[in-house]
Structures are given as C-alpha cells and as structure tokens.
Amino acid sequence: MAETDFSDPKYYTNRELSWILFDHRVLNEARDKSIPLFERLKFLSITASNLDEFFMIRVASLQDMVNAKYDKTDIAGLTPTQQLKLLDPAIHQLVELQYSTYNRSLLPQLRQNGLQIIRQHEELTAEEAAYVDRYFEENVYPVLTPMAVDSSRPFPLIRNKTLNIAALVRKKNGKDELEFATVQVPGVLSRIVPLPSEGGVRKLILLEEIIERNMHKLFLNYDIVCAHPYQIMRNADLTLEEDEAADLLKEIEKQLKKRQWGEAIRLEVEADMDKRLLKILKEELRLDESYIYRIDGPLDLTVLMKVYALEGFDHLKAESYTPQPVPELPAGCNLFEELRKGDVLLHHPYQTFEPVVEFIRQAARDPKVLAIKQTLYRVSGNSPIIRALAQAAENGKQVTVLVELKARFDEENNIVWAKMLEKAGCHVIYGLVGLKTHCKITLVVRKEEDGIRRYVHLGTGNYNDATAKLYTDVGLMTCSEAIGEDATAVFNMLSGYSEPLVWNKLSLAPLWLKDKFLYLIDRERRYAEEGRPARIIAKMNSLCDRDIIAALYRASAAGVKIDLIVRGICCLKTGVKGVSETITVRSIVGNFLEHSRIFYFQNDEHYEIYCGSADWMPRNLERRVEILFPVDTPKLKERLFHILDSLLKDNVKASVLQADGAYEKAGRRGKPQFHAQEAFCREAVAQAKAAAREDGGVTRTFIPETHQEK
C-alpha cells in the first residue's frame, strides 16, 4: 500500500471559505429564535463587522496577490484568482442571508416588541417628517459637505468605510443634463435618531434617510432626480498581512508600482439604486460587477450595535453576568502572600479579571517590588493596567513594557498610551523587528527576606479589562521558580539579549513552539501504534497550519482519538478515510467569544495540559512571539480538563464539522441540553458563594488567648 501523503491539498479546506462558514455560524445565532431578540441584533451586527474586517484584510490581500501576479497555491491547492472566484458567490450568499434575517425575522419582531425602525423616510407621518426636518436643519446641515461633479470639479475621493449618499441632480433652469453629486453621512452624529413618541411603539430612523429626505436643501439650484446611500471599501491596508509569506512581500515590493493603492474592492448600494447613478459609481471607481453588493436594507449593519445599546429593552437581552470573585484570591488579599501558597488558575469571564489588574496595582505600591515587566497587545481605552504601570514607574520600580504597535487596527491608540508610559519613566519597547509580540506575560520581581522571588501571570488573552468580560480566556498566576526564570529570559530576549542556554517550562514561538507541538502530537501517535491509550484535545481560535494538520492526520491514521474545539477557521477535514476518521471538530459560538487556547495530550498515563497565546496557524507559530505554558498542579490540570470536557459535551452552542465540510448543530441524541458557557457561569457563582461562606465561618470564630507552656 502506498503511503498516504498527508499534506496533499485535497485533504485541506481553503481558509477563506472556512472563515465564511464561521461567519455563517455567527449568523445562525442571529437566526436562532431561542435567543433574546436584542442578542440576535448583536450577532447580526457582529457578522457585519466581521465581514468588513475580512474584506479589508483577506480579500484585499488576495487582490494584492492577483495584482502582483503571485500565483502560489494555498493549503488547499488554490491560486489567489481561484480563491477570489470561489469567494465571490459565497460572500454574496452570506450578505443575502444577513439581510433576509434582518428584514424577514428581526424587523417584524422588533416591531412586535415595540420598536420600529423606519425603513424609508417616505413612511414618516407628517408630524414626524416635520420633526426630522427640523432635526436636519439644527444638527445635520451645519456639518455636511455636499460635493457636485462637473467638468471643473473632478470626482471626489470617497473615503474608505464611510457612508455616503449619491444623487443625480439637474440644474433648475438648465436642460436635461444630469450631474453627479455626493455627500458624506457625518460620522460625528449618531446614525440612529429616535423619533418622539407617546408611549406604545418607539420609532427610530437612520440618519442617511433624514439627509436623503433633505437633499434638495444641499443643492439649492438643482432638482434632485434620485438619491441613494452607498458605501465603499478600499484596499488601503498599508501594511501587508503577516499571514502571507515573506516571498510575497518581496514580490509586492518588486511590483509596487503595479499595486493600486486604495483601489476599491467593494461597493455597497441600496438595492433599488437608479441604474444611471450606479453606472457612474461603477465607472468612477473602476469596479467589476462582482464587487457590487445590492443591499436590501440599511447599509452597514454594524449600526445594530447602537440599537442594541438602547435603553429600556433589557427584557429582550440576555441576563447580564457579573464575573465572579476568584476563591483563592479574595478581594483585598495580598496577592503575593496568596500566590506563595500555590498556583492559581483564572477562568475569564466567568471569574473576574480583577486579580490581574490588582496584581499590577499591588506590585506598583509594594516597596519590595523591584521590577514589573509586561507585554501589551491590545488594551482598553482607559486601562487601569496602564495607570498602574505608570504609577509603578513613578514609585521608582523598573518597569519594562513591550507594546505591540503592529496590533491590527489599534496602532494609533497604542502609540498614545505608549508615549504616556514613557513619560512616566517606563522603559517601552515598541515591538520587535519582523515579529509581532502576541504572548501575554507579566513578571513581577520582588526582593523578599530570602532573596529574589518572581511572580508571573501567563494568559491566553490580552491584558484588556474590557474584553476580559466578553472573551473566554484562562490565566495562570504562579511564583514557581522555573517559570520565573523562564519569564526573565523571555523579557531578556524581548529586550534584545541572546537566548538562554536552557528553558525550564515555557515553549516559545517562533523559536521552537511548533516543533514542540509536532513532538507532542507525534508522541501520541507513537503510543497509539504501541497500542497504548492516546488522545488529543485541543481548543483554539483557528487551525490552518499545514504541518500541524498533517501531523494530526498521521496521528489519526495511527488511531489517536482527536477532539478539536476550533471557533473560527479550520482547514482540517474530518471523516476522510485513512486520514481523519478519528478526528472531530466542533465550533462553539456563544454569548462569550471563545478565545482560550488549551491543549491536552494524554501521554500514556500522565496527561499533560498546556495553555498559550498561539493558535495552530503559521502566523502564530512562525511570525509571532508566543508562549505555551504547561499547567502542572494536579488540581488545576483537572480544572482545565473539566473545561475541555464541558465544551465537548455542549449540545446547545456547538456546531460539528461534517465530512462534507458543512457545520451542523451538535445533535442531542436524547441527552439533556447542556450549555457549556452557562454551566461555567453557574459553577463560578457556586464556587464564589462557597468561598464566601467559608470565609464568613472563619471570622465568626473567636480565638481565646491561652497560656502557652514553653
């Protein structure tokens, strides 16, 4: 029998198509009638912002490759041109489903629940019309910049991702010559405008409808023939995606002149836009038909997030969950003292992120602390962590912060507070040349009675107190000497020093994290071949590394049972005979964004569990600084296993990848309903309560003073 080539492209799914399936899964949440109505709005909004990002990053990148005549095939053997060809219908289909969900399902239900979103200004009552016109004159008119196009005024630059209204206008006293005019819907004003109502149904109208209604006031000497909103997206990403190969970068540098900067890659227009108007846009923006999306409803559905935020509809939202205190680290405790008692595992957002913030805060104040070192990827706007770090520097601690400026979309934000940290006296490192620093690690060095002791926090999620309420992540807090030494070495390397001779516990990308994973996977394969128990459970956000997938196939062929929990992209195919029959893939899309990366290897009888910042993607394993850390304490290992086990049991939010490449909701097969995220919430509440009771018990005990014999 010929040996199977596990890296044959036929065993792999294209990552972009797999991504579309992921957005479909999110869209399924918006379509799920068992979910509170406003949550469904939120999910629909998320699918839209996801798709925007997908266009800006992935489609733009494919477009670049096509322009550069770069035709290397992807993991599934497709050239960039072929990929774009396959994506086009898939995206159109996704968009159609978005709007049919909105129009057929969500809009009517909102109406039933007392909220009406007015689709067209023509539907306004006379009273309401008068209100919006006044609103226009008082608030909107002063900030508008109408632009007309004629022989002396060229077609203006339409800015990326802005909402605009295009119109065909005709001079009042002129002949029938039509002119093109456009006006940007101002981003400074709220896009949703509530209308006055007396009890009963609340009504909303979108800003562009108000402007459209009042177009004639902008072009006084003209008649408005027609006016329709439109939005474009440009390939304006100045930096290349890190996912792409280095040889692409070279190719593009060579072809730089050929690259059309800021070329439009998507045009969204109202479905019933006047054909003449559409033709002008199409020609001016030089767009093919496939780039045009005719939208039956409001453009840019991310506006629904604003609707979600409306007050008074709490009964239509999911019950809000408060992250619970961590029993091992009660509020007000001295974290360093508690950590000396043993390692602590944090499970966010079920448990609060507060101990992590408090860790920095206490370190900043503690006179024994000598140094604080931290990597920051994306932080929240008004971050308490940044404040604590600045405070620490002012208190004379040595504070080293690695700020990743290359974090997508966050550059500007990052620069601002990085400057602020520098001013406070922190040593700020602005990333590493050629590598994105994605690992999440904090090191606190403390000079104690018996010498230096290092406290370390390692996590799977960013140091962002806001997203920590929404993303599921795990973190380990420890003062283990071995991890402390490694953490020091990590920061030494990030500061530009040479690699240490030996690492104790941590595995680092891009050094040899990938080799470590390949080794761990292969070890299971060997055990399986020897007839010993062998199993892998791995949870991550995306899986698209060819070498890893090939290793998984090889392990599966040897009989290793492999269960993968992959939220997003998955290039691995399940159920292929002789290749992946023992592999299952499930994706959990729930109220919280699944974000933790946890890896279980049965390792005969001594199972090992690792957590880390890296997905099984080439960019994580090869072009980022990532850390994988083992969790050794038996109790904590059990907890992590419980997390994986619960997610595998989920039959409410889980979808399972089928052999045909589609995802289907996990079947119940007579089992009771099990919703893992909800179960974690309940467990966290119960644990916190139990801990509080125990605590109370202690303080109620009197301790009598007794005479002690020496």
Partner 1 sequence: MSVKTFAAIDVGSFELTMKIFEFSQKGGMKEIDCVRRRLDLGTDTYFNDKISNEKMDELCRTLQEFSDRMRAYKVDGCSAYGTSAIRETKNTTIIQDQVAQRTGIRINVLSNSEQRFLGYKAVAARGETFGRIIGDKTAVVDIGGGSIQLSLFDNDTLVSTQNLRLGVLRIQEYLNRFEAKSSQAENLIEEMTMAQLGTYKKLFLKDREIRNLIVVDDYVSPCIVRENGSDAMLTAEDYRVFQRRIRSGSDTQAAMALGVSEEKVPLVFISALLVAEIAELMGAERIWAPGATLCDGIAYEYAEKNKALSGLHDFEKDIIACASNISKRYMGSKKRSETLERIATTIFDSMKKVHGLGRRERLYLRLAAILHDCGKYIGMVNIGENTFQIIMATEIIGLSHLEREIVANVARFNYSRFVYYSEQTGASRLDRDSYLIIAKLTAILRLASGLDRSHKQKLTGLKAALKDNRLVLTVDTQVDITLEKGFFRMREDFFKEVFSIEPVLKQHKEL
77-81: long-range contacts, CB 8 A cutoff, minimum separation 24: 77/9, 77/10, 77/12, 78/9, 78/14
675 is catalytic: no
What part of residues 211-250 is at the interface with partner 1 (CB under 8 A)?
A: none
Contact between 152 and partner 1 (CB under 8 A)?
no
Q: Which C-beta is closer to partner 1: that of 496 or that of 696?
A: 496
The pairing of beta strand 222-235 with beta strand 202-206: unpaired
Question: Based on C-alpha coordinates, what's the Rg of the chain?
Answer: 28
**Closest approach of Cβ 621 to partner 1, in Å?**
17
The span from the CA of 244 to the CA of 532, in Å, is: 39
Q: Which C-beta is closer to partner 1: that of 157 or that of 501?
A: 501
What distances in angstroms separate CA 101 from CA 68, 301, 374, one per listed residue? 38, 12, 44
Tally DSSP H helices, then E strands, for the chain.
20, 27
CB atoms within 10 A of CB 412: 8
**Closest approach of Cβ 630 to partner 1, in Å?**
19
**Closest approach of Cβ 368 to partner 1, in Å?**
10
Q: Which C-beta is closer to partner 1: that of 194 or that of 367?
A: 367
The span from the CA of 612 to the CA of 591, in Å, is: 22
Amino acid of residue 225: V
Amino acid of residue 304: L
The span from the CA of 430 to the CA of 293, in Å, is: 40
**Closest approach of Cβ 516 to partner 1, in Å?**
14
The span from the CA of 596 to the CA of 639, in Å, is: 14
Rounded to 10 deg, the angle between the 384-394 and 411-424 helix axes is 20
> Binder to partner 1 among 143, 249, 271, 452 (CB under 8 A)?
452
What distances in angstroms separate CA 194 from CA 109, 296, 310, one per listed residue? 18, 22, 10
**Closest approach of Cβ 517 to partner 1, in Å?**
18
What part of residues 473-502 is at the interface with partner 1 (CB under 8 A)?
A: 485, 488-489, 492, 495-498, 500-502
Q: Which C-beta is closer to partner 1: that of 2 or that of 501?
A: 501
**Closest approach of Cβ 565 to partner 1, in Å?**
34
**Closest approach of Cβ 510 to partner 1, in Å?**
15
The span from the CA of 538 to the CA of 551, in Å, is: 13
> Binder to partner 1 among 258, 315, 447, 668 (CB under 8 A)?
447
SS3 27: helix
For residue 546, report the phi and psi dihedrals to the nearest 5 degrees: -60, -45
Which conformational region is residue 647 in: left (phi greater than 0), alpha (psi within -120 to 50 degrees), or beta? alpha
What part of residues 381-410 is at the interface with partner 1 (CB under 8 A)?
A: 397-398
What part of residues 646-685 is at the interface with partner 1 (CB under 8 A)?
A: none
DSSP H helical ranges for 322-425: 335-341, 354-365, 384-394, 411-424
445-450: long-range contacts, CB 8 A cutoff, minimum separation 24: 445/369, 445/370, 445/371, 445/372, 445/373, 445/488, 446/336, 446/363, 446/366, 446/368, 446/369, 446/370, 447/368, 447/369, 447/370, 448/368
Count of residues in contact with partner 1, rule CB under 8 A: 22
**Closest approach of Cβ 502 to partner 1, in Å?**
6
**Angle, CA of 68, 625 and 399, to the nearest 5°:** 130
Q: Which C-beta is closer to partner 1: that of 501 or that of 698?
A: 501
> Binder to partner 1 among 199, 200, 434, 451 (CB under 8 A)?
451
Q: Which C-beta is closer to partner 1: that of 31 or that of 397?
A: 397
CA atoms within 13 A on the CB side of 367: 1
Q: Which C-beta is closer to partner 1: that of 369 or that of 625?
A: 369
Is residue 540 within 8 A of residue 562, CB to CB? The reply is: no
Which of the following is catalytic: 24, 121, 228, 438?
438
Among 427, 486, 498, CA closest to 456: 486
**Closest approach of Cβ 393 to partner 1, in Å?**
11
Q: Which C-beta is closer to partner 1: that of 502 or that of 703?
A: 502
What part of residues 567-586 is at the interface with partner 1 (CB under 8 A)?
A: none
Match 């060095």 to its residue by tokens: 445
Q: Which C-beta is closer to partner 1: that of 249 or that of 452?
A: 452
Q: Which C-beta is closer to partner 1: that of 25 or that of 514?
A: 514
**Closest approach of Cβ 447 to partner 1, in Å?**
7
What part of residues 346-385 is at the interface with partner 1 (CB under 8 A)?
A: 370-371
Q: Which helix (H) or strand (E) holds 93?
A: helix 80-100
**Closest approach of Cβ 452 to partner 1, in Å?**
5
> Binder to partner 1 among 449, 605, 660, 709 (CB under 8 A)?
449
Amino acid of residue 508: L
> Binder to partner 1 among 402, 428, 445, 557 (CB under 8 A)?
445
Q: What would the x/- binding string for partner 1 be over residues 500 to 539, using CB under 8 A?
A: xxx-------------------------------------
Contact between 9 and partner 1 (CB under 8 A)?
no
Match 């399936």 to its residue by tokens: 21
Contact between 450 and partner 1 (CB under 8 A)?
yes
The span from the CA of 82 to the CA of 73, in Å, is: 9
What part of residues 403-442 is at the interface with partner 1 (CB under 8 A)?
A: 427
Q: Which C-beta is closer to partner 1: that of 62 or that of 399?
A: 399
Binding site for partner 1 (CB under 8 A): 370-371, 397-398, 427, 445, 447, 449-452, 485, 488-489, 492, 495-498, 500-502
Q: Which residues are part of the catalytic machinery? A: 438
